[in-house]
Amino acid sequence: MRKPMGWTARDIPDLTGRVAVVTGASGGLGLETARVLAGAGARVVLAARDGGKTLDAAQDITAETPGAQVSIVAVDLACLDSVRTAARTLVAAHERIDILVNNAGVMAVPQQRTADGFEMQVGVNHLGHFALTAGLLPALLRAEAARVVSITSTAHHLGRTVGPASVRGTGRYHPWRAYGQAKLANYHFAIGLHRLFRSAGVPAASMLADPGLSPTGLQRTAVRTSGGRSQRFFARLASRTGLTPAQAALPQLRAATDPSARSGEFYANRFIAAGPPVRRPVLRQVGMDRAIARLWAVSEQATGVGLDLAALRAAVPT
């Protein structure tokens, strides 16, 4: 029976022998997630863009947990060539990957484009992770029961289904609307991947997590790059009432490690900005099938990567 205080990092089972990849692990929630996974015995790969910050993060983890197995791989999710290189490096280095936490992201930034010409927020938060997950399929499917965790936000309620125009960033741009759209893409990606795994009958799970509001680098970057009134408001709100990074990382940690969690489930804080991580219902069901199908078509065309039953079956080890 679950103790009254709810699920905490102390409930994570021994992860010795497991391999975990965490994107955006050079700081914020990614670093906290990597720190806890390494402390539980996992071999953790910090996948991030800034090499210096990532090295500092690795040293921070090993200082706290002597003997922790931590390595680094460079990946810039705003560049599909970088994503492909990182995926090849990881598959070559690890026979299997047990946990993939697609944590990295940008939030409410001014209008920008990725190296491949996509709107920055959907490009980094979704397309980069879509391509990375596809590239890691051979290693994920060699694991006994791999888990892929996608990170969404309550801002997904602001989003509309991703289409070709929004991927290219054409039309009128609004930072928070674009962020909501990217987070809705993460939401639909997690559910779509769950359905794909289930249809293929592979031993892998796709989970969804929402960390709530926390004063991390994501907030600071949004203020620094945009300086908008809404960005400053949410940064102040996060600093005054938000969760600590360690608390905010708990939903994705539970999705990644709780033996009782199941594919297709969604974990978030009980009171959005407070409380332990709990299972939440998957909402926005009306039109979801059509939205996921559209997302898949747009994502495969944009990235040049197939993530379908044929790709899954081809990746299953013989």
Give the integer Cα–Cα distance in Å for 240 and 314: 49
Alpha-carbon separation of residue 290 from 149, 284, 297, 312 (angstroms): 22, 12, 11, 21
**DSSP helix/strand/coil, 186:** helix
Question: If residue 45 lies in a helix (H) or strand (E), which one and from where to where?
Answer: strand 43-48
**DSSP 8-state code for residue 243:** P
DSSP 66: T
Structure tokens at 167: 């991927």
Q: Please tell me the distance from the alpha carbon of residue 280 to that of residue 190, in angstroms, as a whole number.
A: 14
DSSP state at residue 208: E
Alpha-carbon distance of 261 to 199, in angstroms, equals: 19
Rounded-to-integer distance, Cα 30 and Cα 206, Å: 18
Helix (H/G/I), strand (E/B), else coil: 244: coil
Contact 45, 75 (CB under 8 A): no
Is residue 173 part of the annotated active site? The answer reads no
Find the catalytic residue in 173, 179, 187, 267. Answer: 179
Catalytic residues: 179
